[in-house]
Amino acid sequence: MPKYVPEPFRIKVIEPIQLIPRQERIKVVQEAKFNVFNIRSENIYIDLMTDSGTSAMSNAQWAAMMLGDEAYAGARSYFRLKEVMDDVFGFKYFVPTHQGRAAENILSKIMIKPGQFIPSNMHFDTTEGNIRAQGGIPVNLVIAEAYIPSKSVDFKGNMNIDKLRNFITEKGVENIPLGLLTITNNAGGGQPVSLENIKQVSDTYKEFGIPFFLDACRFAENAYFIKLREPGYENMSILEISRKIFALSDGATMSAKKDGIVNIGGFLAMNDESLFKKVKNELIIREGFPTYGGLAGRDLDAMAVGFREVLEESYLEYRIGQTNYLGESLREIGIPIIEPPGAHAIYIDAKSLLPHIPQNEFPAQSLTIALYIEGGIRGVEIGTSAFGYVDTETGKEVMPELDLVRLAIPRRVYTQSHIDYIVEVFKKVKENPQALSGYRMTYQAPLMRHFTAEFEPV
């Protein structure tokens, strides 16, 4: 039996959930055109679609919200957030944004010209979308092991430094306006990046004069893995490790809906003053005045408290422990997962679980639907539907290497019995995987198609 780390909190407010009957679940999923994004939340029993904005806030965060200062400019809430920003992230400048992709949008608009390349370990879909929307080309340069689901590596989110160096030399610095690194690497299994690797990435970008931005959504989870796994950091606090990480970069985009433990919020931070001036202009057009950036004052206060709570080791031990418990329990019953278990989610290798479904018939989509029908569980496909696309020149489907179902765990929301229930549902699916069929996409949008795609069983 894997170990479950007890919750370092007790429950004061509850939200009822219910499992609707199986016949209704079948009807619901048909009406949703076999896309779980179209299912009403009231028809979901355990919602593992995302860990983003779905977390439970603490009593301290709710209390802080009552102090929210809703002044248009110069609100106290902004200055309380700024104090935490300066202490934890340490960038010279920042603006709040309503979520991560708003920060990505502003950064992309200012920095990227059509035809330019943006390297990262792996881009998340919104980052890819924002880069492509400016005519840029996102490039993934993660280490090769990241593409071998069963291979357990401590820092599987690391960038391949040789590849990065060769890529920059080959394409030319003038064609690379910006370099990124995603911590943890969500698209590759929620895997961490080591401090050593972050330093090498930073050195490489610096050597070529390329501005280095972190996609920092899950920075505290990444820092905790550094403390656990990287020699030399075992006695440092998560705050100290976080400061070391950010000191190596020129800026960061952040979705506080993850490691800010809030339901909405984010920021764009940087050290370059001239960039900050441009950012403020873009922000005012799109998001709001620079001291609130598309958020209410109370949201800034909740974020300020969240950025402190996420650094607590008792919280992170429970957080990583819960995800690990799910991963180990699934492994025990023979479900192929990305190894080792990540921080915020477990990723099921659908190609390996369902070898009878060809990749162009969306095996991970098929498993996602089966989990809903079998147990009212909502996971999300992050494979061929999310990252594949139709090449406009050849008209052919370009497919990603990995075809995964992600079970993302909201922070501080579900208990051990919920996790045990998920494992029971997997046991049922595992009894007869041959019963699952492939799917055909009957509608797709030109960008980020998985959100609105429609399917039918083959």
Q: Report if residue 120 touches ligand F0G, rule: CB under 6 A.
A: no
For 125-137, letters b (16+ CB in 10 Å) and e give bbbbbbbbebebb
Q: Report how many residues bind ligand F0G under the rule CB under 6 A.
A: 16
State the minimum distance, in angstroms, from the CB of residue 50 to ligand F0G: 3
What is the nearest approach in angstroms of ligand F0G to the Cβ of residue 437?
A: 26
The rounded distance, in Å, linking the Cα atoms of 407 and 429 is 15
DSSP 101-145: HHHHHHHHHHH--TT-EEEES---HHHHHHHHHTT-EEEE-B-GG
Binding residue (CB under 6 A) for ligand F0G from 78, 89, 93, 124: 124
With CB atoms as reference, the residue minimizing the distance to ligand F0G is 100
Asked if 140 touches ligand F0G (CB under 6 A), the answer is no
**387-441-349 Cα angle (round to 5):** 45
210 alpha carbon, distance to own chain's centre: 24
Residues 213, 251 contacting (CB under 8 angstroms) = yes
223 contacts 216 by C-beta, under 8 angstroms: no
Output b/e per residue, 254-281; b: 16+ Cβ within 10 A: bbbbbbbbbbbbbbbbbeeeebbeebbe
From 147, 150, 205, select the one nearest 181 (Cα to Cα): 205
Residues 160, 182, 202, 359: which binds ligand F0G (CB under 6 A)?
A: 182
Segment interacting with ligand F0G, rule: CB under 6 A, options 70-78, 119-127, 385-393, 430-438: 119-127
Q: Is 101 in the site for ligand F0G (CB under 6 A)?
A: yes
Quick one: 100 or 306, whose CB is closer to ligand F0G?
100
Note whether 108 binds ligand F0G by CB under 6 A: no
Nearest distance from C-beta of residue 216 to ligand F0G, angstroms? 9
Interface with ligand F0G (CB under 6 A), residue from 58, 99, 158, 365: 99
Burial of 149 (0-12, 13-18, 19+ CB in 10 A): buried
Within 435-454, which residues bind ligand F0G (CB under 6 A)? none
- Cα dihedral sign, 369-374-376-379: negative
- Please state the closest distance from residue 273 (CB atom) to ligand F0G, in A: 25
Element (H, E) at 182: strand 179-182
Contact call for residue 186 and ligand F0G (CB under 6 A): yes
58 binds ligand F0G, rule: CB under 6 A: no
127 binds ligand F0G (CB under 6 A): yes
Residue closer to ligand F0G by CB (options 80, 218) is 218
257 binds ligand F0G (CB under 6 A): yes
266 binds ligand F0G (CB under 6 A): yes
Give the residues lining the site for ligand F0G (CB under 6 A): 50, 52, 99-101, 124, 126-127, 182, 186, 215, 217, 255, 257, 266, 408
